[in-house]
Amino acid sequence: MKPMLKYFAIMVLLLTSWQSRGQVIKFGLIADIQYADVETRGTRAYRNSLQKLENAVADLNRQQMPFLVNLGDITDRNAADLSPVLKELRKFRKHVYNTTGNHDYKGIRKNDSLYKVLGMPAEYYSFKKGNWRFVMLNTNEVAAYSNVEGTFREKELEGMMDRIKATNGRNGEEYNGGISSRQMEWLKALLDEAQRKGENVLILSHHPLGYAEGLTALNDSEIVALLARYSCVKALLAGHHHKGGFCMLGTLPCIIAEGMVETNSENAYGVVELHPDKLVLTGSGRMTSRTIEFNK
């Protein structure tokens, strides 16, 4: 390549990289739809979630959201209820990135069938938008409800429960799960690569890794200890705790999205904007609006 052409190619590459790093990434966010064709119980209006979801999708379409992230618990208690929820989600004009919640495993005997119907490429996965790496953890991988019998995960579940008992932890509940040693290795390799490439990382999961006492992932402290080693990790987003919330896990901001299933009529969804230096969540209905500045 001639010197001038080589110089031009390098400048184009640098400009493209700079534009990618400064790009604002925008997406829709929902959590805990938890639809079921049953009567309201307490604060949970199961049937009403379908109409709320339809309204949320219509609004996000009007805003021309580039993609949508669902943090799990699409259904509450019956795999047959997946069909009407997915029908509404398909009305979203762009791609929906799903992860599972603990309720989604009800009536599921083969986990792969659940991941397939949700359009998940694997039980845990990542994808990239601009200079942002989205990491979709599966905090249901090691759990009493997720078909771990006869697999290596069964032994790991026993170990997690033993550690929780030994430390008087409060998260050793049947509706909580954790990530396996294999997923942990996958996560570490992914973060090593992201750190090396100068990517920003957003961690998404169903179970929170902090704040929601008694509702966090079974091996929350181990996951957080790994994440804390990487400056590329900018924030954590989770569901499961329907009231929502926020905390700092060391220097890591952790946002918990409010659950759509709560209340008869008030919706809960949001729009997230990822800037190089901050995260802006604009909530609708019960979802709290927040602005989180990174590294502060």
pLDDT tens readout for residues 61-86: 999 999 999 999 999 999 999 999 99
| Model confidence pLDDT, tens digit, residues 227-273 | 999 999 999 999 999 999 999 999 999 999 999 999 999 999 999 99
Please compute the mean of the pLDDT values over residues 58-62 and round it to a whole number.
Answer: 98
Cα 145 from Cα 139, distance rounded (Å) = 12
| Residue 17, pLDDT score | 46
| Residue 202, pLDDT score | 98
| Residue 205, pLDDT score | 98
| Model confidence pLDDT, tens digit, residues 178-215 | 999 999 999 999 999 999 999 999 999 999 999 999 99
Q: Where are the domains of the chain?
A: 25-293
Going across the sheet that includes 200-205, the strands are 125-129, 132-136, 200-205, 233-238, 252-256, 245-249
Residue 113 has pLDDT above 60, yes or no: yes
Residue 276 has pLDDT above 50, yes or no: yes
Cα 142 from Cα 219, distance rounded (Å) = 10
Residue 257 contacts residue 271 (beta carbons within 8 Å) = no
Residue 221 contacts residue 252 (beta carbons within 8 Å) = no
| Model confidence pLDDT, tens digit, residues 12-36 | 343 444 445 789 999 999 999 999 9
Write down the pTM of the prediction: 0.93
Residue 121 has pLDDT above 90, yes or no: yes
| Residue 111, pLDDT score | 98
Nearest to 286, CA basis, from 152, 265, 296 = 265
| Residue 295, pLDDT score | 78
| Residue 3, pLDDT score | 57
Residue 144 contacts residue 157 (beta carbons within 8 Å) = yes
| Residue 6, pLDDT score | 52
25-293, what's its fold? Purple Acid Phosphatase; chain A, domain 2 (3.60.21)
Cα 139 from Cα 205, distance rounded (Å) = 6
Residue 90, class by beta-carbon neighbours within 10 Å (0-12 exposed, 13-18 middle, 19+ buried)?
exposed
Query: Between helices 181-197 and 220-227, what is the axis angle to 10°?
Result: 20
Residue 141 contacts residue 153 (beta carbons within 8 Å) = yes
| Residue 296, pLDDT score | 66
